[in-house]
Structure 1
């Protein structure tokens, strides 16, 4: 019994879509890895709405190291806030440089502010210490996926992968046609 043309077309479309999704994911992962190891990019999700609407919560930003002497007013940068505002090992803050001033000892001091915030941040940052990164590009919504995967940890990722594999196996078994039953005489070797 031949499979109808519409069903073959539907199956072929499904395989094409799956292939496209897998290829897209692999290319995206490869691009992120190349950016990380070849161009010293770091990736961080935007965790709050302080940079909305330009960078809403869940946006993934690619960050490149910046020489502190090149930081300018109006530039969006990532940095670790000073104590007591920041926590060791905590996520960097991504905010716009609000002002640059010279301190009494001649060092440059930076004040930052989120685009959606009504007032500048409470901290003053001495640019002579610390690491600063500028935004190379941003991808909306991808940061939400990264944040979710980080919060679940490796065990969660493995559980999700195993669950997806089980769903895939179940879907494949449902797609297979059932074998046709043989007449009882054919099984016993009887000839009609």
Structure 2
């Protein structure tokens, strides 16, 4: 069914606006979670537990940038390895500073935890400080394997490019169909 007249134009304009908003939201999410971290040397991690609630509830994607240990102070939220060389990481707030064996050490605590972590964190364990976070985005990445995520990023990029092309082509066709305002055509 084809809609015509002013109501049809309003519906088409609203649909086009909604499409562009969805596309922009998808591009912004992709940029925040994939592109920006790759370009800046940052790493994205998913918060798996509620230990940092309400600041970073479970499912939040935190983007962590390397930071000099000299720039880490009380209140800084850091991501660190549980043990040096271990792939398992934790994101907690620094609540205490000390010198242990001639090097700095950090006492950390989750915002929702009643007491500080038992083990002090050494500089070699620190992956970086939280730069920014994207709520709920971690749920999406948690559902997908690394390989599938890579394929989806490539597919999403291709779909966005094709969608943008179709929008430009459609707009061009519509302009050609609509007569210029104030121009009268006579057929002899």
Instruction: Give TM-score, length-normalised by structure 1.
Output: 0.66
Say yes or no: does 1:154 pair with 2:154: no
Give the Cα–Cα distance (whole angstroms) in 2 for the partners of residues 18 and 10 of structure 1.
Answer: 12
Residue 114 of structure 1 and its aligned partner are, at CA, apart by 0.3
Give the Cα–Cα distance (whole angstroms) in 1 for the partners of residues 21 and 46 of structure 2.
Answer: 25
Residue 2 of structure 1 and its aligned partner are, at CA, apart by 6.8
Deviations 1:6-48 (A, max 9, x none): 3443233223212221233124324544422332221112211
| SS of match in other structure, 1:35 | helix
Partner of 1:93: 90
Partner of 2:181: none
Give the direction of change, closer, same or farther, for the CA distance of 1:31–1:124 in structure 2 (3 Å limit): closer
Partner of 1:47: 48
The correspondence of residues 5-20 of structure 1 with structure 2, limited to 5 A, is 5=5, 6-20=7-21
Structure 1, unaligned runs of 5 or more = 166-192
Partner of 1:110: 106
Could you list the structure 1 runs, at least 4 aligned residues long, displaced by more than 6 angstroms after superposition.
none
Query: Contact conserved, 2:83 with 2:125, CA < 8 A, in 1?
Result: no
Q: Based on CA coordinates, which of the two structures has the bigger radius of gyration? A: 1
Say yes or no: does 1:125 pair with 2:121: yes
Query: Contact conserved, 1:68 with 1:132, CA < 8 A, in 2?
Result: no
Give the direction of change, closer, same or farther, for the CA distance of 1:2–1:89 in structure 2 (3 Å limit): closer
Matched pairs, number: 152
Query: Contact conserved, 1:98 with 1:112, CA < 8 A, in 2?
Result: yes
| SS of match in other structure, 2:131 | strand
Give the direction of change, closer, same or farther, for the CA distance of 1:119–1:131 in structure 2 (3 Å limit): closer
Deviations 1:53-93 (A, max 9, x none): 1221222222110112322122111111127xxx9333x21
CA RMSD of aligned residues (A): 2.9
Query: Contact conserved, 2:50 with 2:57, CA < 8 A, in 1?
Result: yes
Instruction: Give TM-score, length-normalised by structure 2.
Output: 0.67
Residue 107 of structure 1 and its aligned partner are, at CA, apart by 2.1
Partner of 1:142: 137
